[in-house]
Amino acid sequence: MLTRELAGASVRPLILSILSEGESYGYAILSRIEALSGGVLAWDDGTLYPVLHRMQNKGLLESSWRRADTGRRRKYYALTDKGRRALEREKQQWLQVDAMLAQLWGLQPRLT
């Protein structure tokens, strides 16, 4: 698994990025992350939900309870404009740090 710190640094960008593709809900976001990582990475749901709540409190997300075709209640989250701007900032920051590490590791820099 990931170090606590890297987990912390990546949850938010991952959530924002996933939601930038369209609205989704907690359980699906978890599955998406697991799939993206090739099954390597799986967050505890008790970690994800508080993060979603905090992000909503900060105005990055908005949510609405809806009933899916399956009959289940789901809380769908969608990006707000503020969330979209936050994603852009987080992305720039990630690329900034990544560029530093790439330099130290002798990897070729990323072309943005």
Q: Is 76 helix (H, G, I), strand (E, B) or coil?
A: strand
Considering beta carbons, is residue 39 or 71 the nearer one to a second copy?
A: 39
Q: Which does 81 bind (CB under 5 to 8 A by kind): DNA, a second copy, none?
A: none
Site string for a second copy, 74-103 (x = CB under 8 A): ----------------xx-xx-xxx-xx-x
Q: Is 110 helix (H, G, I), strand (E, B) or coil?
A: coil
Count of all residues that appear for the chain in the document:
112
User: What token pair was written down for 69?
Assistant: 């075709």
63 near a second copy, rule: CB under 8 A: no
What is the distance between the alpha carbons of residues 111 and 25, in angstroms, rounded to a whole number?
32
Closest distance of CB 68 from a second copy, Å: 24
What is the distance between the alpha carbons of residues 30 and 42, in angstroms, rounded to a whole number?
7
Contact 82, 59 (CB under 8 A): yes
Q: Which residues bind a second copy (CB under 8 A)?
A: 2-3, 5-6, 8-14, 17-18, 20-21, 33, 36-37, 40-41, 90-91, 93-94, 96-98, 100-101, 103-105, 107, 110, 112
